[in-house]
Structure 1
Amino acid sequence: MAALMVSISGIRGIVGKSLTPAVVQKYAMAFGETMKQSTVIVGGDSRTSGTFIKNIVKGCLQACGCNVIDVGIVPTPTLQMEILHHKAAGGVAITASHNPSEWNGLKFMGADGRFLSPQIAQAVYDLADRGSTDLKTWESIGSETSDPGANQRHIDAVLNLPYIDLPALRQRKFKVVADTVNGAGGLIIPQLLESMGCEVVVINGEANGHFAHTPEPLPENLVQLSAAVKSNGADIGFAVDPDVDRCAIIDNTGSPIGEEYTLAAAVKFILSKKLGPVVVNMSTSRASEDIARFYNCPFYRSKVGEINVVEEMARQEAVIGGEGNGGVILPELHLGRDAPLAIALTLQALLESNDTMETLAASLPRYRMVKSKINIEDKDPDKIIQQMIDRFSDKPTNLLDGLKIDGKDNWVHLRKSNTEPIIRIISEAPSEEKAQSLVKEYTDIIQSL
């Protein structure tokens, strides 16, 4: 049975197995206690288990004296923006992100609309483990209200960005195919595209939680979208994950450009308008770094995880950042990965290029990335990483998040998993062959230790 995953991104597990009503109550009560009888926003993606989990979460928050605003089925970034809109103390998104339908989880956020910092998240988890709760009596329990306007406010905020030329987009009338995998995106992505004047073809657009394919927007899961782009003669295709914080792009030929290039395209577009620092995580493609260097802009990397990227963006006053999994972050909108934002910036960039998406993608620095994992069973992952650090001490390395070994035109990143007995290994190089050979080389070394 899959274990409950507890991390800086929240908790997630398989419903009825590792994620039970008791587990939901345990963590919701702990978070509710930290909210100190304030207002909390609650929403989530379209999973079939979302209703009963949401009811538990709302009940626990009210029992702790919190006033709950239920914003319904919404993307995670929409909920983050609603925290700021309502000036709430925090929020809970009920989602398991890109995991399959049988999974669900809780993502906790603070008053700044960001995920909890690692330190605050750990304090919540420690409180949950202790089981201490400050339940309120009948006269002090919290209230509940609903607000159905969250998705539209998100659309309006994206379209009001100074980079978006709405009249020109409406005149251009891009033909777009959108695959929202029957997740929360079905209630916001078609509406966003229609507001931009696009001719929209929607596949898997019912927000019913019955995901039409493996929901992570990787090329191997987007065969249906690729075919739809070609058969409809579309200019572009977009795929989002169930909670709509990640976006993948299919070009006009029906070919996926790769999740890494959603961010790279956005970085290039924003830096062409506004110079400033860029922040990505340690496993993100070097393409964004090359683009920042071209514009002579400072470039920084953080540990993997949205909150780590966001905190570094705040420190460096970055103009754009994100993660190479299709997560674009623009501080002018809010500090969180946002697929509706990525879609709007991509269409604006495509408009201004006066060319095809295939050509726009080809103009970006090109690398190939290979991701793998090594089962280490009962070995100590920290010891293995340290042995690798010692072994490659003569090479340029970065120890911020595991071990990253930089070559002239390639890199390898080794990180331990916090939830499984594995070490993740990611390589990037100009060719698939070179990236694969790097993964094999380092896998063989680790297995020999």
Structure 2
Amino acid sequence: MFGTSGVRGRFGEDVTADLALSIGRALATHGTERIVVGRDPRLTGSLLADAVSAGAREYGADVVRIGVAATPTIARSVGWYDADAGVAVTASHNPPEDNGLKLWTDEGMAFGEDRRRRIAEIVEEGAGEPVAWDETGSETKRTDATDRHREALTDAVTIEEPLSVVVDVGNGAGGVTVGALRDLGCSVTTLGGQPDGRFPSRPSEPTGATCETLAAHVAGTDADLGIAHDGDADRTMAVDERGRFLAGDELLALFAGEAVADGARVVAPVGASLVVDDVVEREGGRVERSRVGDVYVAERASEPGVSFGGEPSGAWIWPKQTLAPDGPLAACRLAALVARERPLSQQVAGLPAYPVERDQIEVDPTAKERIVDAVARRANERYDEIDERDGVRVETDSGWFLVRASGTQPLVRMTAQGRTEDRTVELTETARELITEALQTA
């Protein structure tokens, strides 16, 4: 039922009011006494939030409703309002007909595997009996969560020379970024600033293709920076002052390099680029790998000595601030970095560039894990050491390749990157050879 980002799918099919009711009941049955519930602007969000609240209160938990808010606002609110858990009703960057629920701990981190599994078990088995009619939980409303988030951002970030910034909210819940940047002294132009769960201005996921209007606007004005969020603002992507949309690995390298003090550790998933390793090592730190998924990055980022964790998808975590991917915090920190250092295009130009190859093979959904296991067996015969924390990652002196099963689709994905074009080709051929051999036996 749960993926790494909670429950997500088509409303009325995969995600229903009945499911939301059951998850609310399961949280209360699991011992959660107080729950924060918020949502993104999707048209189905209100009724799903109502269902979560009803289920939780039916089984004795109190609920704090914060209305439409960014997912990182919801995650932070669990601690602010002395709650035990939070529920963000959101499908993040998915299309408007989808919705979902993501669960948060009192530490502001997404539920890990064990807690997700237990909630799923309660949903499937049934939550038992509700509390007595005079013991049902209460529901209160708070309207200050976004303001508290905005204040937290301005307390955490200082912008020495205010910039001109264009923020593409994408009709989502990320308006807190606009307010925070203005409080920090920036001149801000907003695109898609009106929350609208149909996402009429652009698709919710911020990519180079969907952010062409943002890129053109930045390039055609004197703006220093462009920021783009997804529907619930847990992701941030960026456009430089020339209107170029930055790749996720470029942003990851910039954030990681800026976060590293001498000897510090940063976390990146197994598929992150070599450029991240090079930048962090140049600054005196080291990169540690996690499984793909912001919850796994957050788990590693919660360890002592880790200053930052991020994913090229646009999820950025500074553990001293929050263990949730906080798109508005990333936006403010990026603006501060540009103001303090030099134009974003120049910073990116200073990064090393390495060729990368990606491919995917459609397979029987029941076979993808067996195929990756077969790849692992063959890789172990060829290499002294492989990383199997999320698929099969093989690292050499001049590059790496990764073979992993998609968590959401019937695909086996392959990525290879070398320090030269020839080496990338060799690593790609090796990975494909391993997959071909595995397909014959899996």
Task: Report the TM-score when normalising by structure 1.
Answer: 0.90
C-alpha distance in structure 2 between counterparts of 1:100 and 1:437, whole Å? 38
Which residue is 2:318 aligned to? 330
Which residue is 1:425 aligned to? 414
Which residue is 1:362 aligned to? 349
> Aligned partner of 1:65: which letter?
G
> Aligned partner of 1:28: which letter?
G
C-alpha distance in structure 1 between counterparts of 2:231 and 2:359, whole Å? 24
What secondary structure sits across from 1:160 in the alignment? helix
What secondary structure sits across from 2:83 in the alignment? coil
Which residue is 2:104 aligned to? 109
Asked if 1:286 is matched to 2:282, the reply is no
Cα 1:428–1:98 shift into 2, 3 Å: farther
Cα 1:146–1:372 shift into 2, 3 Å: farther
Deviation of 1:21 (Å):
1.8
Which residue is 1:120 aligned to? 115
* Partner of residue 256 from structure 2, selected from 257, 261, 267: 267
Which residue is 2:374 aligned to? 387
C-alpha distance in structure 2 between counterparts of 1:246 and 1:380, whole Å? 32
Asked if 1:253 is matched to 2:249, the reply is no
Which whole-Å deviations, capped at 9, do the CAs of 1:292-341 have from their partners, x for residues lacking one? 21122243111122222222222343111122212211112111211111
Asked if 1:228 is matched to 2:228, the reply is no
The answer as to whether partners of 1:370 and 1:426 remain within 8 angstroms in 2 is yes
Which residue is 1:22 aligned to? 18
Which whole-Å deviations, capped at 9, do the CAs of 1:228-276 have from their partners, x for residues lacking one? 111223111011111111111101111112122222211222225x752
* Partner of residue 336 from structure 2, selected from 348, 369, 392: 348
The answer as to whether partners of 1:411 and 1:427 remain within 8 angstroms in 2 is yes
C-alpha distance in structure 2 between counterparts of 1:32 and 1:432, whole Å? 55
What secondary structure sits across from 1:423 in the alignment? strand
The answer as to whether partners of 1:35 and 1:90 remain within 8 angstroms in 2 is no
What secondary structure sits across from 1:426 in the alignment? strand
Equivalenced residues, count: 435
What secondary structure sits across from 2:234 in the alignment? coil
> Aligned partner of 1:276: which letter?
A
> Aligned partner of 1:33: which letter?
T
* Partner of residue 46 from structure 1, selected from 29, 36, 41: 41
> Aligned partner of 1:191: which letter?
G
Cα 1:245–1:379 shift into 2, 3 Å: closer
C-alpha distance in structure 1 between counterparts of 2:275 and 2:266, whole Å? 12
The answer as to whether partners of 1:372 and 1:439 remain within 8 angstroms in 2 is no
> Aligned partner of 2:378: which letter?
R
Which residue is 1:138 aligned to? 133
C-alpha distance in structure 2 between counterparts of 1:67 and 1:122, whole Å? 23
C-alpha distance in structure 1 between counterparts of 2:247 and 2:422, whole Å? 17
C-alpha distance in structure 2 between counterparts of 1:134 and 1:110, whole Å? 25
Q: Percent identity?
A: 27
* Partner of residue 408 from structure 1, selected from 397, 400, 405: 397
> Aligned partner of 2:83: which letter?
A
Which residue is 2:158 aligned to? 165
What secondary structure sits across from 2:146 in the alignment? helix
> Aligned partner of 1:62: which letter?
R
What secondary structure sits across from 1:6 in the alignment? coil
The answer as to whether partners of 1:262 and 1:328 remain within 8 angstroms in 2 is no
Which whole-Å deviations, capped at 9, do the CAs of 1:381-409 have from their partners, x for residues lacking one? 23211222233332352111110122334
What secondary structure sits across from 1:428 in the alignment? strand
> Aligned partner of 2:411: which letter?
I
The answer as to whether partners of 2:248 and 2:311 remain within 8 angstroms in 1 is no
C-alpha distance in structure 1 between counterparts of 2:183 and 2:368, whole Å? 50
* Partner of residue 99 from structure 1, selected from 67, 73, 94: 94
The answer as to whether partners of 2:308 and 2:318 remain within 8 angstroms in 1 is yes
> Aligned partner of 1:200: which letter?
V
Deviation of 1:94 (Å):
0.3
Cα 1:19–1:379 shift into 2, 3 Å: closer
Root-mean-square deviation (CA, aligned residues, Å) is 2.2
C-alpha distance in structure 2 between counterparts of 1:60 and 1:433, whole Å? 58
Task: Report the TM-score when normalising by structure 2.
Answer: 0.92
C-alpha distance in structure 2 between counterparts of 1:371 and 1:333, whole Å? 34
* Partner of residue 76 from structure 1, selected from 71, 75, 83: 71
Cα 1:218–1:410 shift into 2, 3 Å: farther
Deviates more, 1:369-378 or 1:300-309: 369-378
Deviates more, 1:56-65 or 1:304-313: 304-313
The answer as to whether partners of 1:263 and 1:327 remain within 8 angstroms in 2 is no
Deviation of 1:439 (Å):
5.3
Which residue is 2:294 aligned to? 306
Cα 1:371–1:340 shift into 2, 3 Å: farther
C-alpha distance in structure 2 between counterparts of 1:431 and 1:191, whole Å? 44
What secondary structure sits across from 1:188 in the alignment? helix
Which whole-Å deviations, capped at 9, do the CAs of 1:317-376 have from their partners, x for residues lacking one? 3111122212211112111211111111111111111x2110011223334545443211
* Partner of residue 87 from structure 1, selected from 62, 82, 90: 82
| Unmatched runs of 5 consecutive residues or more in structure 1 | none
| Unmatched runs of 5 consecutive residues or more in structure 2 | none
The answer as to whether partners of 1:64 and 1:135 remain within 8 angstroms in 2 is yes
The answer as to whether partners of 2:57 and 2:136 remain within 8 angstroms in 1 is yes
Cα 1:112–1:18 shift into 2, 3 Å: same
